[in-house]
Amino acid sequence: MNMRIRGADIVMRTLDQAGFRTIFTLSGNHIMPLFDAALETDLQLVHVRHEAAAVHMADAWARRTGQCGIAMVTGGAGHTNAVAALCTALAADSPLVLLSGHAGLNELGRGSFQELRQADMASPVTKASWTAASIETLGHDIAKAVQIATSGRPGPVHISLPVDLLEKQIDDASTLWPKRDDFASAHRGLSDLSANAVLFALQNARAPLILCGPMLCHVPMSDVVARLKEAVGVPVLKMESPRGINDPSLGAFADVLGRADLIVLLGKPHDFTIKFGSAPAVRPDCEFIVIDPDPVLIERAIREQGPKLIFSAIADAAAAAEGLALQSERSKAGAKPWTKEVADAISYRPPEWQTISSKHGERVHPIELCRALAPVLERHPGATLVCDGGEIGQWPQSLLNPANRIINGVAGSIGAAIPFAIAAYAAEPSAPVISVVGDGTFGFHMAEFDTAVRCNLPVIVIVGNDAGWNAEYQIQLRSYGRERTHGCELLPTRYDRVVEALGGHGEFVETAEELVPALERAYASGKPACINVMIQRMPSPVVRMPQ
């Protein structure tokens, strides 16, 4: 006689057997069977305080490890909370699967508890979104979702899991369980012919650029991009900031972009981040090549650039980068003088930054904050830096260059930094995770310090506290004048005390001299820590080379 199992057992054992170990989740009525089923597996449930945080954590896990992240929330309002975070993951090419509880199929249309069109709601911010239809296919639904999330242009996938399917029982049978290959990503490489065509165009251009999209900015992709850069001998730049060509980590890139005569978009959407490829940001006669796994994005570039798009190919970004590097190594092409011009622009920072310091009685300048952080990151080369916030988050992106970095990303939404940091530490606990955020950002998910304390995940969050929504303040200041700034003020809240009350370590910093000792104490505490730094209200850095 076959053993009877529940739909919930199929879901959780499928994840367990596929090698997943960490699920970011918040409990609720519709997923209680899944929590129960998890007890019979090796799955670790990181139980958070808000459903959006669970998605942000799954997102950061994917960006830090290269593996598909898993978030699990209840239906109704739990699902709606989680959906809001999916746009950040989608824009960041971050592969994750959101599993949402759902009203029972046998009650749909009858006014069931928390009945919503959940799959339709998630569809615009996912690669695929559907509601499971039978207990027999639950395991295969999970495998399909993981495969879609990690194939082509990576991104989030959603499945709603009706509670009656999770509670329903069925005889165990081999047909219920997906094979390992069912989870495997479907990759499309760049043919040698296409690679040679791209390399020929690069070598015949005077001032070419390769711009890499967000997927190639994920931590595990650093070696792939480095190899490509070394092999092709032309500038290869990573773009994942909503500030686009004014990304502070790219220095004076905007100054040289306008001189490029060929731009290769490698998994990089043709969008607002490159000013739509239009003059004056880009030369009117600049030619384009697009390599992307998504035909829709290739069609967009063709529509935007017309005959100036001289070549396109459908291929995954990482596979294409590896193919270009291999073919270029065979051809042994040398570096162009233009490459040094671009490198000089990217590395340029105003020399006066080196001597900036706050005067006696002044709040801390953001540059001083970064200056204190630099030696910490140098001592811990495996550390992860998380940056978030409209203005303060841009300064460490400009001044610090850690091997491992996670930022809010092209979506431009703020607030994910604390969940990002927690997931990054859960993924790699052997080195510190330091997050620099604004006070506005901190308020979105400050309760996740409770999660960090409960789960013993000692992240360090540095709050640049200027008691305001500074990004909005700077916009209003530039657009309307100081007398018309409003809705931008916050309190100079003691966020350090909030974290202490949640069981973490708190530090309050008012002067630059206090920064390093506060960092040392926070790290030595072994607890999740908040360093609340009172900073000057400064606009984010915009770097331009002297004319």
The model's pLDDT over 319-344, given as tens digits with 9 standing for 90+, comes to 999 999 999 887 666 677 899 999 99
Q: Tell which wins on pLDDT, 203 or 114.
A: 203
DSSP assignments along 482-494, one per residue: GGG--S-B-----
Of all residues in the chain, what percent carry a pLDDT higher than 90?
Answer: 91
The answer as to CATH 3.40.50.1220 being correct for domain 192-347 is: yes
| pLDDT category of residue 6 using cuts at 50, 70 and 90 | very high
pLDDT for 51-99, tens place per residue?
Answer: 999 999 999 999 999 999 999 999 999 999 999 999 999 999 999 999 9
Q: What distance in Å separates the CA atoms of residue 9 and residue 83, rounded to the nearest whole number?
A: 25
Burial degree of 66 (CB within 10 A; 0-12, 13-18, 19+): middle
Burial 156-177 (b: 16+ CB within 10 A, else e): bbbbbbbbbbbebebeeeeebe
What's the pLDDT tens digit per position in 234-271? Answer: 999 999 999 999 999 999 999 999 999 999 999 999 99
Count other C-beta atoms under 10 Å from residue 410's C-beta. 26
User: Between 498 and 115, whose confidence is greater?
Assistant: 498
Local structure of 270: helix, strand or coil: coil
What pLDDT is recorded for position 334? Answer: 64
Q: Are 87 and 411 a contacting pair, CB within 8 Å? A: yes
> What tens digit of pLDDT does each residue of 168-178 get?
999 999 999 99
Looking at per-residue pLDDT, the higher value among 268 and 470 belongs to 268
Q: What was the pLDDT predicted at 183?
A: 96
* Architecture in CATH for domain 351-534: 3-Layer(aba) Sandwich (3.40)
pLDDT class of 108 with cuts at 50, 70, 90 = confident
In tens, the pLDDT along 59-70 reads: 999 999 999 999
Cα–Cα distance measured from residue 373 to residue 270, given in angstroms and rounded to the nearest whole number: 35
Residue 536 CA to residue 362 CA, distance in Å, equals 8
Average pLDDT over residues 380-407: 94
Q: What percent of the chain has pLDDT over 70?
A: 99
Q: DSSP states of 391-430 as a string?
A: STTHHHHHH---SEEEE--TT-----HHHHHHHHHHH-TT
Q: Report CA dihedral (222, 225, 229, 232) to the nearest 10 degrees.
A: 150
Domains 4-183 and 192-347 equal at CATH topology level: yes
Number of CB atoms found within 10 A of residue 209's CB: 26
Distance CA 496, CA 226 (A): 39
CB contact at 8 A, 491 and 506: no
Measured at the alpha carbon of residue 398, what is the angle toward residues 392 and 403, in degrees to the nearest 5? 110
Return the structure tokens found at 288.
């384009």
Instruction: Tell me the average pLDDT across 156-167.
Output: 98
Distance of CA 57 to the CA centre of its chain: 10
Give pLDDT, residue 364: 95
Please state, in angstroms and rounded to a whole number, the distance separating the CA atoms of residues 364 and 357. Answer: 8
- Burial 351-390, CB ≥16 within 10 A → b, else e: eebeeeebeeeebbbbbbbbbbbeebbeebeebbbbbbbb
Predicted pLDDT of residue 337: 87
When the pLDDT of each residue in the chain is averaged and rounded to a whole number, the result is 95
Phi-psi sector, 487: left (phi>0), alpha (psi -120 to 50), beta: left
Contacts of residue 87, defined as CB under 8 A and 6 or more positions apart, other chains included, come to 125, 411, 413
Q: Looking at residue 390, what is its pLDDT?
A: 84
Average pLDDT for 395-401: 95
Can you give the pTM of this predicted structure? Answer: 0.96
Residue 391: phi and psi, rounded to 5, are -115, -55
Identify the CATH number of the domain defined by range 4-183.
3.40.50.970
Give the per-residue pLDDT at 333.
63
Please state the three-class secondary structure of 292-344 as a single string: ECCHHHHHHHHHHHHHHEEEEEECCHHHHHHHHHHHHHHHCCCCCHHHHHHHH
Domain boundaries in the chain?
A: 4-183, 192-347, 351-534
